[in-house]
Structure 1
Amino acid sequence: MTEIRVLIADDQAAVREGLALLLETMSDVTVVGQAGDGLEAAALAAELAPDVVLMDLNMPRSDGIEATATILAANPAIRVVVLTTYEDDTSIVGALRAGALGYLTKAATRADIERAVKAAAAGQAILDPAVQRQLLAAATGANTGTGNGTPTAPAAEPESADDLSPREADVLRLIAAGHSNREIAKKLFVGEATVKSHINRIFTKTGCRDRAQAVQYAFTHGYAEPGGK
């Protein structure tokens, strides 16, 4: 595997340093920079062009959602993985809409973080199980709050305007679960070329320009399945 260059963004120095030490123990992972707020994260991302940014959400000057949007507007090839204490609907959906490809809570283990960083570098999504349940609950209208006592309105059903076929919807769900084209082909008993054709049609119908946007679309339009299956 090619070396994965990671930028850490967190306003707590102890957290940044701890994450840097943790990441440096992982094979094929190198920490190229650390940022203490969203503005610094965006500036360092522009300067260093890391493969992955490990992003906190609650930071001064510019929060993680704004920083994610700024970073990806300048360089869409960068992958952002959120690592935060927040798992409310607003934070999760806001981060995904800004372009984050992974979302973990700070209860994540070393193995969880390594898996998320390496998956993101490969263009695949990784969501904390609790975060995924929260998203799915909101998407189905089963959620009753944001985690702070604030009621949440049921999410809308997928718009019929996207006109996805049943097989395209299956492929979109599997993309959201983090599966590669090869894995999707095996699960659906088709060739990889067929999977690529389905993905191209999904992009055209949904307006997504890449796999990361397709993941966001799946979770914000109700296509993701419980447990990422």
Structure 2
Amino acid sequence: MNADRIRPTGSAVAGDRAAAIRVVVVDDHPVFRIGIAALLETLDGVSVVGSAASEDAAVELVLATAPDVVLMDLDLGDGSGVDATRRILRERPGTGVLVLTMLGDDESLFASVRTGARGYLLKTASPQEVERAIHAVAAGELLLGGEVARRAVSFLSGAKRAGGSPFPELTEREREVLELVAQGRDNPAIARVLVLTSKTVRNYVSAVATKLGAADRGKLIVLAREAGYGGAAEQPAP
């Protein structure tokens, strides 16, 4: 498994942490992953039971260790933290996912929350904010960092003002991506049109599908075309 396990050692430690909040750390940057795990181990009432560097490893590790909270980065190299969250919550619905990321944009925030994450912090958060968020998420609460919360309020206000247009929750870039998806274009083709990487397009498509509640690309195309997207639509590749 592509995951680094961190386990308490010794029966005394195991006994002391029996009632602790069990945390898994997911981040593809080893220095940050190791550093945040070390920080969490210093907190009272928190026990790090493992860490992972990729989407697949994160899902496998969560299923193996059954943590209370998953500290989730969104950019996982070839994988997506949003997709990892979706897969984890499909298998273990009670798991608390706390996003800890450098991505403070609306797309990332709302894709994460719609997928089921209970918390969202930027990596600039203080250790005290991280500790508070872990306890809140473990208790079933929804917690957004200060700057993230301000963005959420701004986003919701803008969506309300734009309520007459289809899918007001989408950003302008997401609408561009959805238009091309509705035309039946695949991710590499969309990337060429918008001058983006295929990975970035994949993340946009995942965020749009999450916002609109589409289970797969085919259902997303149907929703988009019913709303008037797609123009002279091509048939999707089989």
Once the two structures are superposed, what CA deviation does each residue of 1:43-84 show, in whole Å capped at 9, x if it has no partner? 101111100000000112321000000000000111000000
CA contact (8 A) 2:159 2:169 kept: no
* Pairs within 5 Å for 1:57-136: 57-136=74-153
Name the aligned partner's letter for residue 13 of structure 1.
P
SS at match of 1:45: helix
CA contact (8 A) 1:9 1:34 kept: yes
* Pairs within 5 Å for 1:145-164: 154-155=168-169
In structure 2, the residue matched to 1:43 is 60
Once the two structures are superposed, what CA deviation does each residue of 1:113-164 show, in whole Å capped at 9, x if it has no partner? 0000011111111101111111111111189xxxxxxxxx8549xxxxxxxx
SS at match of 1:124: coil
In structure 2, the residue matched to 1:183 is none
Name the aligned partner's letter for residue 36 of structure 2.
L
Name the aligned partner's letter for residue 141 of structure 1.
G
Q: Distance in 1 between matches of 2:153 and 2:169?
A: 10
Normalization by structure 1: what TM-score? 0.61
Normalization by structure 2: what TM-score? 0.59
RMSD of aligned alpha carbons: 1.9
Name the aligned partner's letter for residue 69 of structure 1.
R
SS at match of 1:87: coil
Once the two structures are superposed, what CA deviation does each residue of 1:144-186 show, in whole Å capped at 9, x if it has no partner? xxxxxxxxx8549xxxxxxxxxxxxxxxxxxxxxxxxxxxxxx
SS at match of 1:141: helix
SS at match of 2:58: helix
CA contact (8 A) 1:11 1:35 kept: yes
Q: Distance in 2 between matches of 1:21 and 1:69?
A: 27
CA contact (8 A) 2:100 2:121 kept: yes
In structure 1, the residue matched to 2:186 is none
**Amino-acid identity (%):** 42
Q: Distance in 1 between matches of 2:80 and 2:34?
A: 19
Q: Distance in 2 between matches of 1:114 and 1:37?
A: 23
Aligned residues: 147
Larger Cα Rg: Structure 1 or Structure 2? 2
CA contact (8 A) 1:140 1:154 kept: no
SS at match of 2:34: helix
CA contact (8 A) 1:35 1:41 kept: yes
In structure 2, the residue matched to 1:54 is 71
Name the aligned partner's letter for residue 133 of structure 2.
A
Q: Distance in 2 between matches of 1:12 and 1:107?
A: 15
Structure 1 position 11 matched with structure 2 position 28: yes
2:46 maps to which of 6, 29, 33? 29
Name the aligned partner's letter for residue 83 of structure 1.
L
In structure 1, the residue matched to 2:232 is none
